[in-house]
Structure 1
C-alpha cells in the first residue's frame, strides 16, 4: 500500500514540470434536441519535452473538460487510472470508458519546432491527442463559442482554445453542429469608466 501511495505522489510531481503545452487542431460539437445525445470530439497536440505527462496519466488518470465562451463547463469526463493503458516503450496512452475515449500517441514534431535532444530517435515528447465523447447532456444550452478544452492530470491543467467557429443546423433544427479551429484570441471589451 505504501508503494502505491509513493507512486501516486511521484505522478503528481511528474506533471508539475514547466514547458508543456496543449494545442488544438479542431473541436467538433453536435448538440441534439434529444436528451443525453450530445457529443463532441477533439484533435490536437501535447508538447511535453520532459516526457512525464503520459506516465502520470497511467498513475493518476485523466480528466477532459469542455468549456464555453464564459469558461462555464459544458461537459467533463474523468478517466480513472484503471481506464487508461500505457503503450509500449512510453509511446503514449489510451483511456477508454463507456461513451468516451482519448488517445495520446507520440508523433513527429513539426518542422521548425524542433527541440534539441541527445537521443536522435527521440521526438522530444511531442504527441498527437484525440478524443471522442458521446451520450452527453451539455450543461449549457445553447453552446456559445469560442470553446476551451482542458486536459487535467493530477494538479496540472493544460488549456487550449479554439476561437474560429462555424455552425450549421440539420434535421429541421434538431441537430446543431459546430466546428471550431484555432484563430485569433477573442477580444474582451475593456471596462468603461463610470460617468460622474
Structure 2
C-alpha cells in the first residue's frame, strides 16, 4: 500500500501566509485582481505607462526610486521559485499588490510620493536573496526564512492596500496622522 508523503513544511507555510493575507484583505474581488499580475514585467509596463501619462500632463513622479524595491523583490522571487518551487499565486502576490498600489496612487501626488518613498526605503533594506541562496543552498531553515520574508511583504501590502483602499475622505486625515 502506498503511503502519502508528509506535506512540505515550506509549502504549508507559504499556503498559510497566503490564507492569512487573503483574510486580511477581506475582498475577494481585490484578491482576484492581484492574482492577474504574474511578473515584474507587468509592473514595469504599468510604471512605464504611468510615467508616459504623467510626462504628458507635466506632473512626472520619480518612479525610478522604487527600482531597488522591485529588484529586491525580483531576487526574492527568483530565489523562492528556484529553491521552493512555489505556486504561481505566490509570485502573483509579490507583483500584483505593488502594481495596483502604483495605479491607485497615481492620481494623488502626495500618496504616490509616500508609496514610492516607502518602497524605496524597503528596497534598500532587502537582502541579496540570490547570494543568500547560493551560500546556504537548499537548507530547510533558509526556506523558512524565505517564508518569513514573504509574510513581511504581504503584511506591508495588506496595510498599504487597506489604507489606499479607504475612501478618499478617510485617507486624508490618516495621512496627516502618520506624518
How does the TM-score come out when normalised to structure 1? 0.23
Greater Rg, structure 1 or structure 2?
A: 1
With CA pairs under 8 Å and 6+ residues apart, which has the higher RCO, 1 or 2?
Answer: 2
Larger strand share, 1 or 2: 1
Which structure has greater helix proportion?
Answer: 2
TM norm structure 2: 0.24
